[in-house]
Chains A and B, each alone.
Chain A
Amino acid sequence: SQQGEEDPQALSIQEGENATMNCSYKTSINNLQWYRQNSGRGLVHLILIRSNEREKHSGRLRVTLDTSKKSSSLLITASRAADTASYFCATDGGGATNKLIFGTGTLLAVQP
């Protein structure tokens, strides 16, 4: 079963706007990762944030993590049409293995 729930399920914005996606999870974690999946393609790793970190940046991506609320957010700034994809958060379930438990995903559509 899925661990994470993402919100919103779908998001449509105009090019240049910012997009924010939220993820909630159920168990303790060591880290949380975000992945992107373009239509018909495999998943691509975007960013990893560890449980002792609160915020992390990578290019136009900003991830926050609140372990007390068991939630994370992914912000994409100055969105582009090429950002159109599904975005998934994934946690390790707090174990000592490299198992990933994925959320249900947010479908982002960026209109040119």
Chain B
Amino acid sequence: EAGVVQSPRYKIIEKKQPVAFWCNPISGHNTLYWYLQNLGQGPELLIRYENEEAVDDSQLPKDRFSAERLKGVDSTLKIQPAELGDSAVYLCASSPRGVQSDNEQFFGPGTRLTVL
């Protein structure tokens, strides 16, 4: 079974430029998550999708961040414009079931963003 796929793995951009990250979850997983992980910290949830619906985006900075999961499968996270403080690793994860609290989450390798 293929794992969660993310691309690109690394991205270096200058501040004020746009950037987009792509995630393809494990086949059949309804729930998709985007996390931000700063150096030396644990991941922090940005947005959670149940199928194509964003059910928790309270931590997403909506002035510059956007996300979509149009067909309930793969997802894109965008930052426009990027700021220096956005340098971090962006992790995507998926889990198989819907609203249940005992789901193991499966993580992709992440995209390491560096904003210069």
Q: Do A and B come from one complex?
A: yes
Question: Which residues of A are in contact with B by a Cβ distance under 8 Å?
Answer: 1-2, 4, 30-31, 33, 35, 40-45, 48, 50, 88, 90, 92, 95-105
A-chain residues with CB within 8 Å of residue B55 when the two chains form the complex: 97
Tell me if A's interface is mostly helix, strand, loop or mixed.
Answer: loop
Q: CA–CA, A60 to B41, complex, Å?
A: 25
Q: CA–CA, A44 to B102, complex, Å?
A: 15
Extra inter-chain contacts (14) besides given A88-B42, A97-B101, A98-B99, CB under 8 Å: A30-B102, A42-B107, A42-B108, A42-B110, A43-B91, A50-B102, A92-B101, A96-B99, A98-B95, A98-B103, A98-B105, A99-B48, A100-B33, A100-B105
Distance from A98 Cβ to chain B, minimum over Cβ atoms (Å):
4
Tell me if B's interface is mostly helix, strand, loop or mixed.
Answer: loop
A-chain residues with CB within 8 Å of residue B31 when the two chains form the complex: 98
Distance from A112 Cβ to chain B, minimum over Cβ atoms (Å):
24
Residue of A nearest to B4 (CB): A42
Residues B107 and A43 in contact, CB atoms below 8 Å apart? yes
Residues A95 and B43 in contact, CB atoms below 8 Å apart? no
Q: CA–CA, A90 to B103, complex, Å?
A: 12
Residue of B nearest to A88 (CB): B42
Residues B56 and A97 in contact, CB atoms below 8 Å apart? yes
Which of A1, A44, A95, A99 contacts B107 (CB under 8 A)? A44
| B63, CB-defined interface residue at 8 Å | no
Residue of A nearest to B92 (CB): A42
Residue of A nearest to B102 (CB): A31
A-B contact pairs, 24 of them (CB 8 A): A2-B42, A4-B42, A30-B102, A31-B102, A40-B109, A42-B4, A42-B93, A42-B107, A42-B109, A45-B106, A95-B101, A97-B56, A98-B95, A98-B101, A98-B102, A98-B103, A99-B48, A99-B56, A100-B33, A100-B105, A104-B40, A104-B41, A105-B40, A105-B42
